[in-house]
Amino acid sequence: MKNWILFDCMETLIDMTDLPKPQDYARWAYEGSEAENMWKGFDEFYRDYKEACSQIEKELPLFREYEMKERYARLLSSKSKGGQLDALVKNMDDVFWERYSAKCYANDSVLEAVHALSKNHLMGVVSNFKIRSGVRSILQKAGLLSYFEFTVNSCEIGWKKPHDNIYHAAKELAGVEFESIVFIGDDYDNDYAKPEALGCRAVLYDPWGSHPQVNKRIGDFRELLKIDI
């Protein structure tokens, strides 16, 4: 039986031309949303945006996931109602996604390695992501989606890494035990330590050399073709 490889998505398979700062997530939803006149300017919007995020996080159990559009609904609910609220939430969601997804791409080493690995492994993607179908859309645009048997998106199952539920959801889709899974990603806790604790083998993608204490790590995706997976 072929081993499974499960990849993280963002900053692992997919890079961004510009890594967003916290205020960028707010700005990309605000500008062009047709709701700008409800605030005195971006600074006031960003204040309310941060407060909405904080409120949602406080209301949810630890590692419970939600969608980006829930932030927009919280922001707009005191300023609009009914059909107008729904339309403005959709506008914010759409303008944010247009800007975010435009910055996403897969570099050549990822494309080369994933293509080669697909010949001998079954593969999936497990990602913390707040846009439904967003992971699949980005992978499709990057020319990667066809290599993966499934994607697990945190906002679609309601739990994010490192909660057990998201890893178990992936294991069920793979139809194997954790011992038959290799997990690869850039986040030490989510993509290395937790998968190992569950019984997976793990490889840390560490292009900046931030975790020299980890033995099983790579700095370039092509290195995956030279190690035993």
**What are the structural domain ranges in the chain?**
4-15+105-226, 22-102
Question: Domain 4-15+105-226 is in which class?
Answer: alpha beta
Q: What is the mean pLDDT of residues 104-130?
A: 97
Q: What is the mean pLDDT of residues 33-47?
A: 97
From CA 38, how far away is CA 35, in angstroms rounded? 6
Residue 111 confidence (pLDDT) above 80: yes
pLDDT band at 82 (very low <50, low <70, confident <90, very high): confident
pLDDT band at 229 (very low <50, low <70, confident <90, very high): confident
pLDDT of residue 228: 87
pLDDT of residue 1: 53
Three-state SS annotation for 77-105: CCCCCHHHHHHHHHHHHHHHHHHHHHCEE
E-only strand ranges, 131-220: 150-153, 181-185, 201-205, 217-218
pLDDT of residue 190: 98
pLDDT of residue 179: 97
Pairing of strands 15-16, 104-105: antiparallel
What CA dihedral angle connects 197, 66, 71 and 99, to 10 degrees? 80
224, containing H or E segment? none
Q: What is the mean pLDDT of residues 5-14?
A: 98
Q: Which pLDDT tens digit goes with each residue over 168-213?
A: 999 999 999 999 999 999 999 999 999 999 999 999 999 999 999 9
pLDDT of residue 78: 87
Residue 2 confidence (pLDDT) above 90: no
125, containing H or E segment? strand 122-127
